[in-house]
Amino acid sequence: MMEERLKKLSTSMDPEISKVQVFTDKDKQQILTRIRKLSVPQVRSKRPRTLLPRLLTAALFSGIIFSTYVYFDKEPVPQTQPNVQIKQEEPPVIIQNVSGLGSSVEYSSNSEQKKLKISLLITNKSDSPIKNKLKYRVTFLNSSLVKATGSESFIIEPPMQSAIESGDTISISKEIILSQGVAKEELENAIKIETISDSKAFHSFVIDSIEYEETKQIEKDKAEVPQQQKEEKKEEPVPVVVSEGEAKQILNRNLADIKQTLINSEKKNNWNSENPATYEVAGPDFKPYVTERFSNQVLKTLLPKYFCGCDIGFLPRIHQEVRFKVNGITEDTIEFSGIEPASDMNNVGSQWRFKLVKENNEWKMDQWDELTLQQANLELTKEEAGKLLSTETNTVGFHKEIQINGTNVYVFTVKDENGENIFGVDTRNTSLVYDIE
């Protein structure tokens, strides 16, 4: 029923609606124009996208960030000249002066082996101690020695070494077993010694003292000889007496061995003024170099006071060129005399006498005595006085001769690296005279 009513209403309204004009022609035209515009899609203009501006922007941004990080992370570095290296000043190199006077070579040969013994006596000739460690290069200068030893050169490095005081002498020795014999003339001026400090050789010399001993093997007679007849024909060995030059070397070597033993004992036992040496502990170390008599008369008194640390020279320092004499030589004894000249430390010279004896084929110190030259009158010559002042580091020239209180004094000019000085030498007792007008 409702449907029929609605149908009637639609029939009655449609004619009315169709009679009234809702849209004018102008409205139609505007609507159509609007529809056309909406139906056509708008096309956006495409701008070309370039990469360079974006990279520049990114680089600028990264640079700001990195520089900010560096600024806050590191301290400012002072500007210096590029590639300029400041060289550290090296400490000055002090060239020490040493002498090898008294060094020797001993050659011995028998049926069993052939042996070469090199004995070095190194004396500090400079005015200051040598504190750096020294080594010694031994070089053989002829082919026979090179072949016999199997080497052109080798290094001797003392296992223990302390400072070498001015004027002191140390002893170093080395034995070499040879593969073949060498003649005496092949040893002469054939062994060169170089003193090395910090890998640099600053002194060299050639050993000119040769001791040569060769035992020749006598061929046995093929015919049998009765034992009694052999004993009758057996000859007594001829006593070997050393020359004066060899005797002086033996004394110098013995004095150097005693000195070195004192140094080693000090290191081993820590001897000092508060811990003086005792003969019971240190005495046995000297047995290879001294006799029992010397131990009782000298060592027992010397050892307790030697390591006092005071400026006193307890050991003899014999001048090698002035009044150094060999007074007597036998098969088993050698006697010497020599002078120890005055010095800055002790301006009174001394006269020394020594006696060496041979025990078990080894020379040992048996006795030494010191006598002051205070009241002596040596009557030194001008040449002797000049030698007392001469060292390897200075030049001595005679200036004049003067009289002081009735005593002859030779005056010399002494030049060294520190300048020039004038000294006088008292001809009676080697005392130094400083006040020269």
CATH of the domain at 148: 2.60.40.10
Residues 253 and 358 in one domain: yes
> With 70 as the cut, is the pLDDT of residue 336 above it?
yes
The rounded distance, in Å, linking the Cα atoms of 411 and 202 is 32
Burial 327-344 (b: 16+ CB within 10 A, else e): eebeeeebbbebbbbbbe
Residues 160 and 195 in one domain: yes
Residues 185 and 199 in one domain: yes
Residues 248 and 350 in one domain: yes
pLDDT 10s digits, 377-424: 999 999 999 999 998 889 999 999 999 989 999 999 999 888 999 999
| 386 lies in some domain | yes
8 A C-beta contact, residue 323 and residue 340: no
The pLDDT value given to residue 369: 95
The rounded distance, in Å, linking the Cα atoms of 282 and 265 is 6
| 53 lies in some domain | no
Provide the domain count of the chain. 3
- Choosing from 195, 214, 233, the residue where a domain stops is 214
| 256 lies in some domain | yes
Residues 315 and 340 in one domain: yes
The CATH code of the domain that includes 256 is: 3.10.450
The pLDDT value given to residue 50: 54
Q: What is the edge-to-edge ordering of all strands in the sheet holding 153-156?
A: 153-156, 135-140, 191-197, 200-206
Domain encompassing residue 195:
96-214
Is residue 302 classed as helix, strand or coil in its secondary structure? helix
The pLDDT value given to residue 237: 55
325 band by pLDDT with thresholds 50, 70 and 90: very high
Most confident of the ranges 21-30, 92-101, 219-228, 264-273: 264-273
The pLDDT value given to residue 60: 53
| 40 lies in some domain | no
Any idea how long the chain is? Answer: 437
Over range 69-94, report the average pLDDT: 48
Q: Of the candidates 357, 379, 384, 377, which has an alpha carbon nearest to the alpha carbon of residue 368?
A: 357
Residues 143 and 208 in one domain: yes
What totals of helices (H) and strands (E) does the chain contain, helices first?
A: 10, 17
Q: Which residue has the higher pLDDT, 321 or 223?
A: 321
Over range 354-377, report the average pLDDT: 95
Over range 315-338, report the average pLDDT: 95
203 band by pLDDT with thresholds 50, 70 and 90: confident
| 115 lies in some domain | yes
Over range 210-233, report the average pLDDT: 56
296 band by pLDDT with thresholds 50, 70 and 90: very high
Q: Percentage of residues in the chain with pLDDT exceeding 70?
A: 72
- Choosing from 376, 395, 415, the residue where a domain stops is 376
- Choosing from 169, 199, 214, the residue where a domain stops is 214
8 A C-beta contact, residue 351 and residue 373: yes
Residues 347 and 414 in one domain: no
The rounded distance, in Å, linking the Cα atoms of 383 and 365 is 31
Over range 318-346, report the average pLDDT: 94
Residues 129 and 166 in one domain: yes
Query: CB 114: neighbour CB atoms within 10 A?
Result: 17
| 38 lies in some domain | no
Name all contacts of 78-82 with Cβ < 8 Å and 24+ positions apart: none
Residues 357 and 248 in one domain: yes
Residues 128 and 193 in one domain: yes
| 1 lies in some domain | no
Residues 372 and 398 in one domain: no
Residues 180 and 259 in one domain: no
| 61 lies in some domain | no
